[in-house]
Amino acid sequence: MSMPLPQFSHETLYDDAPMVPIKQLDAVWFQVGGTICNLRCHHCFISCTPENDKFKFMPLEMCKPYLDDAKALGAKEYYFTGGEPFANPEMIDILELTVSQYGPATVLTNATVLTEEKLARLKNIAQASEHKIEIRVSLDGYTPEMNDPIRGEGTFDRAIAGTKALVQHGFQPILTITRTWDDCDEKVLEGFVSLLAGIGYAKPRLKILPSIKLGAEVDRTTGYTETDRITHDMMQNRDPAQLLCHNSRLVTDQGVWVCPILLDSPHAHMSDSLQGAMQDYPLRHSACYTCWLHGAICSNDTTSCTAPK
């Protein structure tokens, strides 16, 4: 019996939207942390909190058939997100299975729940596997004054301690920073480079992300307006490969969604299977406008916003 899909507000759907074809499945995202997070960031576009269990942790047994399907469909890499993935008690088992049997994996974390035991296991798995493990750490300021009003009191110190521990265990985490400032990016990047040099991370990888104006971010700032939409004209001469939905899908405990950005939209649910979700998708959501402006914002690519020399 199918379950009712989670309901969500804060979005406008537009008719007659241009379609994005999916020609192949290159990457599969897993909402392993559901919408459960130890933090409650004010800009979280899927409003994760410790109490929000609209989407639940995905256990290993639930992930495995999707990994098999993804591999059969030609997926080359795997992303694990939440919520906080490392709050899922089976996250490291899922990661070990993925990099030993399927392909390279990336975990998006706030780096505040990494224990010494988890770090030691992660290091051993990374060293034993032919496939790479990437860790992305979200942090939104190079000082507590810049970060903590958005991510919560004390989160700067905890995330920096987690980042330092990752570096000491042989990882080169990608710091992802949501643009919430008025300064120029150069100044912010310099602040991060200096901060990270101080904890022994000499050549940090940094990625600045635009804010997604959904979920909690609507209350912190504003939501999208009626002009924030994609028209057919806007997709003329635009390579759809720049959009995440062109070559990837998101697996959750409640089926397959088009992308991680639209998790909270029941309209973005595509199928119960990856095979069923291999269909073209209409760019009918306001948040698609952010992708149109900024490209594949969820990829690991840091080349467009690397740290200044």
For ligand SF4, the closer of residues 144 and 190 by Cβ is 144
| Residue the block writes with tokens 């088992």 | 93
Quickly count: other Cβ atoms within 10 Å of residue 293's Cβ: 11
Considering only 63, 146, 174, 243, the residue that binds ligand SF4 (CB under 6 A) is 243
DSSP strand pairing (133-138 vs 248-252) = unpaired
- Part of the chain binding ligand SF4 (CB under 6 A), chosen from 22-30, 32-40, 71-79, 89-97: 32-40
| Residue the block writes with tokens 């400032």 | 181
Considering only 17, 22, 25, 39, the residue that binds ligand SF4 (CB under 6 A) is 39
- The tokens describing 174, both together, are 């990608």
For ligand SF4, the closer of residues 236 and 309 by Cβ is 236
Considering only 28, 37, 189, 195, the residue that binds ligand SF4 (CB under 6 A) is 37
Considering only 40, 76, 123, 220, the residue that binds ligand SF4 (CB under 6 A) is 40
For ligand SF4, the closer of residues 64 and 220 by Cβ is 220
Q: Distance (Å, rounded) from C-alpha 157 to C-alpha 122?
A: 22
Considering only 258, 263, 274, 277, the residue that binds ligand SF4 (CB under 6 A) is 258
| Residue the block writes with tokens 């990437």 | 134
The alpha carbon torsion through 133, 118, 120, 29 (nearest 10 deg) reads -10
| Residue the block writes with tokens 């009712």 | 4
Considering only 244, 263, 270, 277, the residue that binds ligand SF4 (CB under 6 A) is 244
To ligand SF4, the closest distance from the beta carbon of 37 in angstroms equals 3
Q: Distance (Å, rounded) from C-alpha 240 to C-alpha 146?
A: 35
Binding mask 264-303 for ligand SF4 (x = CB under 6 A): -----------------x-x-x-xx--x------------
Q: Distance (Å, rounded) from C-alpha 265 to C-alpha 261?
A: 9
Q: What is the amino acid identity at position 307?
A: A
- Part of the chain binding ligand SF4 (CB under 6 A), chosen from 22-30, 81-89, 182-190, 300-308: 81-89
The conformational region for residue 243 under phi > 0 = left, psi -120 to 50 = alpha, else beta, is beta
- Part of the chain binding ligand SF4 (CB under 6 A), chosen from 36-44, 93-101, 169-177, 195-203: 36-44
Tell me if 155 sits within 8 A of 148, measured CB to CB.
Answer: yes
Binding mask 105-134 for ligand SF4 (x = CB under 6 A): -----x------------------------
CA atoms within 13 A on the CB side of 308: 10
Q: Which residues are near ligand SF4 by CB under 6 A?
A: 37, 39-41, 44, 48, 82-84, 110, 138, 243-245, 258-259, 261-262, 281, 283, 285, 287-288, 291
